[in-house]
Each structure stands twice: as structure tokens, then as C-alpha cells.
Amino acid sequence: MNRWTRRGFIAAGSLVGGGLALGVAGLVFAPNRLSRSPKSGDAAAQLNTWIKLAPDDTVTVIVPHCEMGQGAQTALAMMLAEELDADWSRVRVEEAPAEDIFANGYLVRAFAPMAADVPKFMERAVDFGSFRLMQWMEMQTTGGSSSVRGTGQFGMRMAGGAARAMLIEAAAIRWKVPTSECETKLSRVLHPSSNRSATFGELASEAAQMELPSHPQLKSRDRYSIVGRPIPRLDIPSKVDGTARYGIDVTLPGMLYATVAAAPVFGAKLGSVDPAPALALPGVKKVVKLENAVAVVADSYWRALKALRRLTPSFTDTGNGKRTSDALAADIVRSLESDQAKSVFVSGDAVARLGAAAKTIDAEYRVPFLAHATMEPMNATARVATDRCEVWTGVQDPLAARKVAALAAKLSREQVTIYNQQVGGGFGRRLPGAHDFVDQAVRIAKEMSPAPVKLLWSREEDIQHDYYRPAVIARFKGAIDSGGAPTVWISRFSGGRDGAALIPYAIENQDIRAAEYASHVRLGSWRSVAYSQHGFFTESFVDELAHAAGKDPYEYRRDLLKDLPRHRAVLEKAAWISGWGAKPATGRGRGIALVESFGSIVAQVAEVELIEGRIKVHNVWAAVDCGRVINPDTATAQIEGGIVFGLSAALFSEITIRDGRVAQSNFADYPMPKLADAPRITVEFIDSNAALGGLGEPGVPPIAPAVANAVFAATGKRLRSLPLKV
């Protein structure tokens, strides 16, 4: 059941994406769980492919994850090329089409020798925030910092190793020598004792006839020549000259342009709208009524936008039209104070011990709603015919987008094709469950059929119709003994029972509970999901305990991590590279924080100063244990970027609700860190050789508490809500 099938394809196929008729042989791997049989020969067969090895020695790696700047496509190709012993200069990457065969689970199931080998982290629902394993298996998702540690580790390496074994076998047969005498290097099979060699391309069609090895041998780390090196990302050259194509750049013959205004109060439906003011303008083709939105279609985006702004649609009254952030916060407090909180983790007898403690500490922390504000506003281009729907867009899960498009078009999933484009920022906004722009684009295009329609949101629409990071309130009670050691940790927070609220510290009596809370504001996953809030809460409160104990916050944490050597080593490394022991310059303060998330442990030290009443973060030092590093340069970039992303929450951004709707609308009132605000960042990795951890998200959570703790060190002021304001 876990064996593979293979299919050699020979003849004049056209390579996926290239449209080039090569008329040559190649090598194709496919798992046996084909959801449908190829319809028409070779071109279809190629859809189900992870490696294409062409006679000219080009190795094309088909990656079932989107590229949104995280470097996953390059890293995954590196992992495959390493096991294949490919010449990296001949390696190319293509993104897999939205087909079931490229769903996460197919890859994992197909390559893992037994289903039981599905890696542990994939079974832990907390790792994926709102996702669950089985959902994830059926998706083609780029999220949960899972590409390298899931697809790469359990898919790409196996595929590369298997291809290498088949190429060796083909060469051995050709030369009539034992396979054990053959080696591979730089896309060649070598037989050193007879001085013969052949390129992978020369052997490709013969290799395609070999049996697929069920347990291909993988390399030991000491033989790596690609993995572990700072290989330049394959997508970067196109991102410096304007040729990189994102969803927003898609242009089709006869294409119309649309823009949309959804109900400002979440949950409201469109009432009535008089289309006349829009239709009176030149170039306007149609005013389209959607269930909860109105759209204008015109012959240019600008004309569509101008016309949309002349409309005065009415929306239904949901009863939420007077809601404010303060009222929502009061509701959250009520839910925290009710008896409904459900246990996340309990040990010892926290409540009893609190009463008997030498010293107790109470604190309440708050974080607001946040928008993702990806630089590329939401967009999708759709073309709908009676039996077919095509969508060009950039999403973090094209399979999920296909489902959304099929529903909107009233077609079967098989009648829908998603052409996934490069993603101009994801951060969770383009995950499954947040594809409202795809739904809208298809419905609008259906009205305009057969003309294709590009739907583009304004930035205002993007800020006001996101799936927001939840606003959370968390209350803590802690106790320390006469020596300052913590004995009790009690927390109550609003939201789901998320493992992000667990603490790494050795505290005997813990009582961690979650109080479910929902409002009319729609929620989603925001880079690092619940860790972005709980990292702030936990690492601020442990800092408060250290202060109450009169201890150095680094030493205090270190003592509490004595049973977790990896965590402790990361903390020590962050302290070491930041020169923690030395006094910072006058007026400056340093704070430290450590958060484990998505399989990686990250500690950060921030150095801050108050300048004219504003918090200036001068330096951040980060130590990271993600097991081992596939590409040190892109890994570093992910931590650097995570820190700046986290700083947006720590110091800049806040979504508030007024009259039931989002009060902010653009970067003027939803500000972002800029170059002048960016700290100097130093990142170092610890090679623990532990299981691979993720990197897209783990850089985010520690920065807000590190900065808050640094502000406390510099000023004595303990700031307990984000964004931090002195």
C-alpha cells in the first residue's frame, strides 16, 4: 500500500509550464494513490510528478508549496537535489498545479514507508493553530512552517534518493558492472574503476525502466554538498527587475477589471444599491450584487474604483452596528470571569498553593486584533464558461481555492483550474478559509462570462475585510517562594484551548485555562498564530516573576529550564551573542524572551531606548535551534523578517472596532515599521541535529516580549498591552 508506482514518459510531451515540445524521454515519479487516471497520455501523466529529469540534464523539481518569499521552493529543491547528487546549476523549480495528488497528505503517505511514520508534529493539532492533521493532509497548504520539515524531510529527500538509485541501476546494467561499484556526482553516474561515466540525462530513459526502490538509501550529513550551504534563492533574480509575476499582474485578452466593497459590519448582507451613479461613468460595464458586497466591473481598475465610490449601498442590520473594541473587551473579561474556562494544562494544586505563598503577583495582558496587510492586496482573476472555470491568483492553498471556486461557479472541482501565482505576502491571509476574494472573483466573472475579470481590492478593503488575529486578554497569577523560585502559574485567557499557552518552565503548580469567546469580527491565522499572543503573555509574566524575585531575568529563566537542555542552550546563546552580562549604554535597556513554536526554539534579546517618548529598538540578537539548517541564508532571512513582522505588532499596529466595523483603513492609520524603525539584527543557529523545525513563523513570537521586557529594564515601566506605548 505504500509502494510507489512509476511511469516513464517518452514521446512528445510538453513540459508543464514551459509549453515546450521536447519529444524526449524523461523520468517521472508518482505515488500510487492517483485520484484519477491520466486522461490523455503523457501531458496528463506529468501532472503527477515531483522530479523531471530531461536529457539535457535539467532537473526540474515540482514543489507542492507556494513561494511567498520564505524560500521554501529553493530549500525543497535543495533537499531533493542533495539526495539525487544533482548538479545544482541544472536544477529548476516549478510549483505543482492544484491537483489532489499534490495534497500534503499524498506526499507524506506516499513516501513514508508506513502510515505510522507520519511525523509527530503533524499529529499535533496545536502546531497548526486552527488546522487539524486530517484537514491538513487533504490540503495543499503552505502554512504551519511545515514545508521543509514535512514535505522536504519526508517527500523530497526520498524522491531524490530513489531517482539516484534508479540512475545507478541503469548505469550498472549498461556497463554490466555491479551497482556497488558505481557512484554519483554532479548529475553523473561514475564507474571509477573503468573510468566510465554518463550524465543523468543520458541515463534518464533507461532509469525510467528500473524498479522503484521501496526504501531508497539517504545520505549521511557528512556527505552533503548542497544542504547546509547558503545557496542563492532561485526566485530572487526575477524579483529585482520587475519580471516576477504575481496574481495582480495577470493579464488576459479581453479582461475586465472589478473592485468590491463588502459590508462594513461583518455578517451583514447587501440590502439595496442603486447602480445608476456608477453606470453613468465611462467604461463601467456592470454593477454586480453579491450576497454581502457590491462590485463594479469596468474597463480599468481606476474606473471601477471611481464608480464603486459613487455607490451608496445599504446593508442589513445585524445588531452589531454599534459594537466597539471596548465593548468587545468587556465581553472578553466577562467570559474570563465566568466559570466556563476549560483546562489546557493543570498540574499540582495551583489554587491552594497560591493562598499559602510567600509572595503573589497578578497581571493582565491585552493584545488587539491585527490585520495581515500583505503588500499585494487581495486579488484574483477568473474566467467562467458553462462547463469550466479558471482562476489566476496567489494563495497558500490552491486546492482549497479550487473548492471555493467550484462552489461559487456551481461546477465540480474537476471543472476548475487554479493557476497559482507568486504570492506577494501570505502570513496566513491567503490560507484556506480566507479565500473570500476567490469566491467574489468567480461570482463576478460568472456575471461577465465569457470575459475574464480581474478582481482587485483596494487597500482600504484589505484592512477592513481581513481575517484578523484575535484580540486576546490573559490574566495571570503567580507565586514565588522565599527564595524567589516560582511555585504557582495560573492563567486564564480568551480563545481556544491552544498549546501555545503552555510554558517550558519547571513550575510545579500550574493551572492554565481557556475561555472560549467569539464576536462578530472574523478571525484567521496571523503569522505564528496563537504563539504571537501567548509568547507575549508568558514571556512578560515570567519576567515579572523574575523581577519580584529580585533575579536577573536571564538567570531566572535559565534556572527554570534545567530539564530542557535545548531550550537552555538557545537561551544561553542569545545571552552570549548579545553580551547580556555587560551593562548597556546609558538610557538603554535589554530584555530577553524565549518561545518554542512550530518545532523550533527561538530566544531573542532586544536593546531599546526611549527617544522623545517613542520606543526605539536598536538591536536584536536571536538564537535559534531548528534542529539543523537547510539553507543558512534563507533561514537567517526568515528570522530577520519574523522579527520585523513581530515588531509591527509590538510597536505599531492595532485594529480597533467602532460602529461594528474596522476603524482603520490604510497605512496612514495602520502603520508599519519602516527602514528607520528596523533594528540591527544578529541571528545565530544552534546545530542540535534534532528533528527539523519550522522557520517561517518561530522568529515572530519572542520579539514583542523581548521589547516589553527591555522597556521595563530601561524605564521601570511594565507595559502589558500591545502595541507598546510609553
Partner 1 sequence: MQVTLSINGEIRDAEVDADTPLLWVIRESFGLTGTKFGCGIAACGACTVHINGLATRSCAIPAASVQGQEITTIEGLATNEQRHAVQQAWIEHQVPQCGYCQSGMIMAVAALLANHPQPTDEEIDAGITNICRCGTYERVRRAIHSIVQAGASRNVEGA
Q: With the CA atoms of 496, 498, 500 and 506 taken in that order, what torsion angle do they form, in degrees rounded to the nearest 10?
A: 120
Q: Which residue has the cell 496587510?
A: 373
Q: Using the CB atoms, write b or e for 69-101: b if 16+ within 10 Å.
A: bbbbbbbbbbbbbbbbbbbbebbbbbbbbbbbb
Helix (H, G, I), strand (E, B) or coil at 427: coil
Q: Which of 68, 418, 592, 651 binds partner 1 (CB under 8 A)?
A: 68
Cβ–Cβ < 8 Å for 64, 163: no
Q: Binding pattern to partner 1, positions 617-636, x when CB under 8 A?
A: ----------------xx--
Which one of 98-106, 242-250, 471-479, 605-613 is the stretch in contact with partner 1 (CB under 8 A)? 242-250
DSSP string, 629-660: -S-HHHHHHHHHHHHHHHHIIIII--B-EETT
Q: Which is nearer to partner 1, 101 or 637 (CB)?
A: 637
Output phi, psi for 719, to 5 deg: -95, 125
Find the angle CA(379)-CA(385)-CA(386) to the nearest 5 degrees: 135
Binding mask of the shown chain, residues 283 to 302, with x at each position contacting partner 1 by CB under 8 A: x----------------xxx
**Does residue 673 belong to the site contacting partner 1 (CB under 8 A)?**
yes
Instruction: Report DSSP letters for 438-487, one per residue.
Output: HHHHHHHHHHHTTS-EEEE--HHHHHHS--BBPPEEEEEEEEE-TTS-EE
Q: Which listed residue (248, 574, 592, 630) binds partner 1 by CB under 8 A?
A: 248
Q: Do residues 649 and 722 make contact, with C-beta atoms less than 8 angstroms apart?
A: yes
Could you say which residues in the range 305-344 bind partner 1, by CB under 8 A? 306
- For residue 183, state whether it binds partner 1 (rule: CB under 8 A): no
Site membership for partner 1, residue 613 (CB under 8 A): no
- Selected from 79, 171, 423, 529, the binder of partner 1 by CB under 8 A is 423
Is 72 one of the binding residues for partner 1 (CB under 8 A)?
A: no
Q: What angle do CA 212, 102, 227 make, to 5 degrees?
A: 70
Nearer to partner 1, 335 or 634 (CB): 634
**Sheet strands side by side (includes 379-385):** 284-289, 293-298, 256-262, 453-456, 379-385, 388-393, 416-420
| Per-residue interface string for the shown chain with partner 1, residues 193-232, x marking contact by CB under 8 A | ---------------------------------------x
Question: Is residue 667 at the binding interface for partner 1, with CB under 8 A as the rule?
Answer: yes
Instruction: Pick between residue 427 and residue 517 the one whose CB is nearest to partner 1.
Output: 427
Regarding 375 and contact with partner 1 (CB under 8 A), the answer is yes
Binding-site member from 13, 143, 155, 377 for partner 1 (CB under 8 A):
377
Which candidate, 45, 59, 66, places its Cα nearest to that of 430?
66
Does 641 participate in binding partner 1 (rule CB under 8 A)? yes
Contacting residue, 144, 313, 425, 705, with partner 1 by CB under 8 A: 425
Number of residues that bind partner 1 (CB under 8 A): 65
Q: Is residue 680 within the footprint of partner 1 (CB under 8 A)?
A: yes
CA distance linking residue 421 with residue 438, whole number of Å: 13
- CB of 10 or CB of 375, closer to partner 1: 375
Smallest distance, partner 1 to C-beta of residue 628, A: 20
CB neighbours of residue 565 within 10 Å: 10
Contacting residue, 179, 251, 338, 386, with partner 1 by CB under 8 A = 251
Using CB under 8 A as the binding rule, whether residue 69 contacts partner 1 is answered as yes
Is 243 one of the binding residues for partner 1 (CB under 8 A)? yes
Place of cell 484580540: 471
Residues recorded for the chain: 726
Residue type, 547: H
Report the interface residues with partner 1, using CB under 8 A. 68-71, 232-233, 235-246, 248-249, 251, 257, 282-283, 300-303, 306, 373-377, 422-427, 456, 458-459, 633-634, 637, 640-645, 647-648, 666-668, 672-676, 678, 680-681
